[in-house]
Amino acid sequence: MVNNKGQESAPFELLISVIIMGFVIFVGLIAMNQLNEQKCINETRAKLEEMKTKIETVVTERSPQQITFLLNTCYNPKDEKVKIQDYGEPAFCAEYCGATKNLCTLLQYYYSGVNDTGGMSERLCLDISPDADFPTRGGGNCPDKENYELIDFRDEIVQGQYLLLNKTGVTSTYPTICAYLKTG
């Protein structure tokens, strides 16, 4: 008489192995998705830090700055918005700027689309005057430049190549920053 017990349990063991393997693949895919999401967040933060540094440099050192401001391709650009905004709440300013100020200026990023976190926002404290001006019309301090368009960073910072110039007048009490977006 031959013992068939091993043959009888083989299909059951195979089924258990397939279930465990499926679970391991599922958990692995979730981990890879979370890793990719964190990579996207880190790349966005790095680009925002670069833009923050360029804006502060053009204001404080008055040296022209060029920047290619292109966010990663992780999110739909239609769902992303970057702009400069002022806040007049000391507690809010202390949270982002680390110092109690009555008024602070922040570089803000919003992603309103769907991702694992349901959207995303980043705020970075800008060490510039809340009165900083970003003219949108040529003439005056910011003359028109061929193949460039003036952008008001307080409305929206669109993705592209920028030339930032400090055109603050000698008697002016606040900085005038010409943010030229390359168009051609």
The stretch 28-49 carries a mean pLDDT of 87
Domain residue extents for the chain? 11-182
Q: Does pLDDT of 116 surpass 70? A: no
Q: Are 164 and 63 in contact (CB under 8 A)?
A: no
Q: How much is the pTM? A: 0.79
The stretch 158-165 carries a mean pLDDT of 94
Give the pLDDT score at 28. 86
The 3-state DSSP class for residue 153 equals coil
DSSP H/E element including 94: helix 90-97
Q: Which of 177, 137, 138, 181 is nearest to 159 (CA)?
A: 181
Residue at 142: amino acid letter: C
Residue at 44: amino acid letter: T
Q: Does pLDDT of 184 surpass 80? A: no
